Amino acid sequence: MGLSSIGYALHLTLNRKVLLEDRADPFWLTLIPMAIGGSILLAAGLMFEERPILSAGLVGIVLCLGIVNGAAAFLLWTWSQRFLAAADNSLINNLMLVEIALLEVLLFGQIFDAYQWVAIAVVLGAITVVQLRRR
């Protein structure tokens, strides 16, 4: 997990540098890592998982999630790094963790322990404090 965090931090830092210097298009900075990661995950899935039974509905869901929720969202995220400060991007990234947890509660009935709710409150509190101090 530590290596993943370091890699992600390096990725974001290099992306911001390249975007701020206007040396690359956000489209390519999104497409290349997604294509590499997607290929690796597809290969692993084909090697270790049972073959899915493809239906029109399943293909539609995968395409929708891949194109709309994946590619479009990551393209917007990469594009935003050109205009938002690093602190703003960090706040958005941290807020996303809270959003995912709360969606899990609302959509899937996930039940959190008290310490998990405390952690969510701490993250929201920290984001709020940072935002209020900047004003």
Q: What is the pLDDT of residues 18-46, one digit of tens each?
A: 888 888 888 888 888 888 988 998 899 99
Q: What pLDDT, in 10s, does the model give residues 107-125? A: 899 999 999 999 999 999 9
The tokens describing 81, both together, are 């790094």
| Confidence at 135, pLDDT banded by 50, 70, 90 | low
Indicate if the pLDDT at residue 12 is higher than 90: no
Q: What percent of the chain has pLDDT over 90?
A: 27
User: Token pair for residue 33?
Assistant: 């890592």
Closest Cα partner for 131 from 88, 97, 94?
88
How high is the pLDDT of residue 87? 81
- pTM of the complete model: 0.65
